Amino acid sequence: MEQYLPVLTLGVLGVLFVLLSIVASRLLAPERDTIAKRSAYECGITDQVAIPERFPVKFYLVAMLFIMFDIEIVFLYPWAVANDELGLFGLIAMTIFTGIFFLSFVYELAKGGLNWGPGRRLLTPATNPERTTTSTIRKVGLEGRMELETDTDDSEAA
């Protein structure tokens, strides 16, 4: 226990320093809340338009994909180093782990996490039995065109 006393003391001192710094900054810092302080700042570019409140879901899907690859590498590297000592058990365990990882990757692809941009979306055609070619053209205004064409034909004949 005597060996860990300096480590415990250093940990307690670190926590006390952090807490004291937070309390001192809250008490001593001036509070001048301005629009510039509340706006997002990134790479020296000031915001021109309103920043959206929420990130798109695809951002989170790609972030999860990144985390999945990180976790896989963290587990695959030590397994590759100690492959001889683990034997068949290690091979089966890593096969199960890689299979679960692959299923999560397939789920990511199915959710569209890697489809970027509007051109990659699948558009399903809207089918409505009440909407026919003649009704659609009539809504655009074809009957007005028919009257104009007959007037034009009469004036050309005269």
**Helices 142-157/133-140 angle, 10° precision:** 70
Calpha distance 64→102 (Å, rounded): 13
User: What's the pLDDT band for 148 if we cut at 50, 70, 90?
Assistant: low
Calpha distance 36→19 (Å, rounded): 28
* 141 vs 113 pLDDT, higher one: 113
Instruction: Write down the pLDDT at residue 154.
Output: 55
Of 29, 72, 62, 136, which is closest to residue 80 (Cα–Cα)?
72
What share of the chain has pLDDT > 90, as a percent?
15
Instruction: Write down the pLDDT at residue 157.
Output: 54
Calpha distance 50→62 (Å, rounded): 24
Instruction: Write down the pLDDT at residue 58.
Output: 72
Of 99, 102, 116, which is closest to residue 56 (Cα–Cα)?
116
Q: Which CATH architecture has domain 55-117?
A: Up-down Bundle (1.20)
**Of the ranges 36-40, 46-50, 69-73, 96-100, which is most confident?**
96-100
Lowest mean pLDDT among 7-21, 47-61, 97-111, 141-155: 141-155
Could you tell me if 72 and 101 are in contact, meaning their C-beta atoms sit under 8 angstroms apart?
Answer: yes
Look at the pTM and tell me if it is higher than 0.85.
Answer: no
User: What's the pLDDT band for 76 if we cut at 50, 70, 90?
Assistant: confident
The two three-digit tokens of residue 81, written as one number: 């180093």
The two three-digit tokens of residue 22, written as one number: 């937070």
